[in-house]
Structure 1
């Protein structure tokens, strides 16, 4: 994490101090939440829609904050060491940008409609075999989260893996102005946030903003949308390399499905690659990881070991055992592309019974009902044994799947409990706002009672 002084921060931000008897006060890390402040932290009070972090300075002080950013329009100033700034959010971002420039690590930026978190976790598992590596924690991939991730990097970090999310045009451009990636990876182009972009081509343009900031190498999943707009994007001397079914190289061969992972062959790896994650799509997510690792002189044995020991972020195709059932917790988000991939993954698990537990996919625009119905039709075509749905839009999924729609999570949970005593695989998926992870929590608690 950042280790500096308040004087150095004030100088970097071209601003002034107030209430400081000692301008050499040491800072060890930062926090935007007064409840999580650690001794030695700089507290950064963010102003949100409903809460103003300035009101929690006393709590931050109690927990050990030694200084704070303070927005100049918030008077009177406190009797406490503060760094005066025009906007605390902008100051957080500017501090992260300055700190990033002071580091000598290789930065790998990862974006994509689907698969970016899995790819990030794979990169971390592989690169940490050789280098001191740090990665984005949780979902810290936006205009607040990415600066927090950067400021949590250690001064001697060698590889920084930074995930970048996107909701609007210009988001990736802004995040890259802080992260300045050496290597960039675009995992996929999907329908997420279609309401904000209008077309997949525009989503591709948004994701490709990463290319104009990349210093050396950009790896992207080939798809019609990227192919259609790539020529519009200036990229100078950056090397472009595509992966996927029609990519430049690293072609996937046979994929063998296990109950707890997959094994696949790749023409640029001497031995078959085993992974402790489920789904054919994870093999594709691994391709840019393999390529990037080889550019940094990581040998194949280390690559193989890293891919076989991935620690996945929670709620992203996370495997959980409850009773005799295998639960696939993919409840963090859902859109038509990721839902189909998740259903493919479910159907590939070698088990006698497959159950899809689905809720609404949000932010799909005017075609939301038909898109939900398409997922139901797809589940039916795959032969998923049971499709259980909850949520207003998921009524159309259940209807098309010839499945069952429930008017509450509790009634769905009651229908699901008997299956925990059988050898089955259960996929749980929905947009984050649907909080489908609550179903898994309730099932776990019921099993422990």
Structure 2
């Protein structure tokens, strides 16, 4: 077992006291996913992690990080006792950051954080040892957990930082101490917690407060709030976007059924490359990713080629074929699963992808393949949420969509605004639509499912998947 943390190192980092010597090969906050040899961190979140220490040790945890001896645990069990578990986890994160020579890239933004993190993981994997969280661990415990899990010999670390309220980003950015910090965009997400979008911009810009001296800020120059971002740091700034003055200039994007072809000028050099998925928003993120690659001294040409290997993470534009007949591959539909989250910016991007998709005719009972959107409420948009839902009807891409089904009270505003021939069903909850799913869809369709997580449109995604069969095989 390679030790990620020894009891001596962890004590030095946290100021805690170990009951005995131990070595841990990883960290865990969840007994369901804990691996033998992990240090179990008894975080208090929805549940108090101290209630699960005995179980963690039974499953093979090397030790547990606790504030006291938990009930049912022997006094001679391997424990690291500290005054505050979350504070100690942050201490481990700082120590892990300090002991590595890794180039750290921090990413935030209203949309696209996880997709950008995963792009960076893919393109840097051929150029060094990459460390990044396996999920969207971007909050007050997720960021320090990701850093504390970082091996000493990491070459590149990618840290996703999120927020839902003011004051959340700066402390996490300072723990991460990034060499490069990127803001994907600033949009009307979590607007209920801010006075206006400029407040969101200031909060996002707080990521730059963590930059190491001489670090680089990667900034989207196409935003109405770009100046706020640009003025937020004295460190080196690199702009990306569709403005020709940008250091990383996105010249042209061509969307086809499942490919994005990108023409760009990257730091003065012309480039042509592709993504193996459709999306103008993905193209913009890719340009920012290449700016990050350049900033950490990696090979930008190799990275541009490797972008074709990236696929959207589950629930964020993932595209898959659902086979409706176990024997005939052509009796199938295309599902675009974008049900993890939604705001007006990300919904507009997703609808553009759907508009570029190519349904297939003569394979289903309807005979004509359709572009179909199943849209749930966009949450946390503030006082004008209803109007923001209604304005979706004015997007050019809506003209290319054959049928729109709406879920939730706010989506009623969009439903009432779209032309009669495009209206499918309106229901108050995703659960109501699940029972009707089989009758709504057909072979040949391309179906986008999108909504804020709280609208539970993921239930509709699951219902569509359950109608499928394994891919037919040729004998």
Q: If the length of structure 1 is used for normalisation, what is the TM-score? A: 0.91
In the TM superposition, residue 168 of structure 1 has moved relative to its aligned partner by 1.7
In the TM superposition, residue 300 of structure 1 has moved relative to its aligned partner by 5.1
Distance in 2 separating the partners of 1:407 and 1:304: 44
Tell me the equivalent position of 1:439. 460
Distance in 2 separating the partners of 1:380 and 1:303: 31
Structure 1 position 287 matched with structure 2 position 287 = yes
**What are the Cα deviations for residues 112-170 of structure 1, in whole angstroms up to 9, with x where unaligned?**
00112221111111111211112232111111111221122222110001111011222
Q: How does 1:98-117 map to 2 (within 5 A)?
A: 98-117=95-114
In the TM superposition, residue 348 of structure 1 has moved relative to its aligned partner by 2.1
Q: How does 1:402-417 map to 2 (within 5 A)?
A: 402=419, 403=423, 404-409=425-430, 412-413=433-434, 416-417=437-438
Q: How does 1:384-403 map to 2 (within 5 A)?
A: 384-402=401-419, 403=423
Q: If the length of structure 2 is used for normalisation, what is the TM-score? A: 0.87
SS at match of 2:384: helix
Q: Is the 8 A contact 2:40 2:63 kept in 1?
A: yes
SS at match of 1:447: coil
Distance 1:437 1:230, change over 3 A: closer
Distance 1:347 1:13, change over 3 A: same
Q: Is the 8 A contact 2:216 2:295 kept in 1?
A: no
Tell me the equivalent position of 2:236. 239
Q: Is the 8 A contact 1:379 1:401 kept in 2?
A: no
**What are the Cα deviations for residues 241-275 of structure 1, in whole angstroms up to 9, with x where unaligned?**
11112252332233222222211211235452111
SS at match of 1:272: strand
Q: Is the 8 A contact 2:277 2:311 kept in 1?
A: no
**What are the Cα deviations for residues 28-82 of structure 1, in whole angstroms up to 9, with x where unaligned?**
2111112322222211111224x21111111111100122122149689842122
SS at match of 1:448: coil
> Normalized per residue, which structure has more helix?
1
**What are the Cα deviations for residues 87-132 of structure 1, in whole angstroms up to 9, with x where unaligned?**
1112112211111111110001110001122211111111112111
Structure 1 position 58 matched with structure 2 position 57 = no
Distance 1:61 1:325, change over 3 A: same
**What are the Cα deviations for residues 197-250 of structure 1, in whole angstroms up to 9, with x where unaligned?**
1111111100111112223211111245434424653x33x2111111225233
SS at match of 1:355: strand
Structure 1 unaligned blocks of 5 or more: none
Structure 2 unaligned blocks of 5 or more: 324-331, 360-368, 471-475
Tell me the equivalent position of 1:272. 272
Q: How does 1:77-88 map to 2 (within 5 A)?
A: 78-79=74-75, 80-88=77-85
Runs of 4+ in 1 over 6 A off after TM superposition: 73-77
SS at match of 1:7: helix
Tell me the equivalent position of 1:382. 399
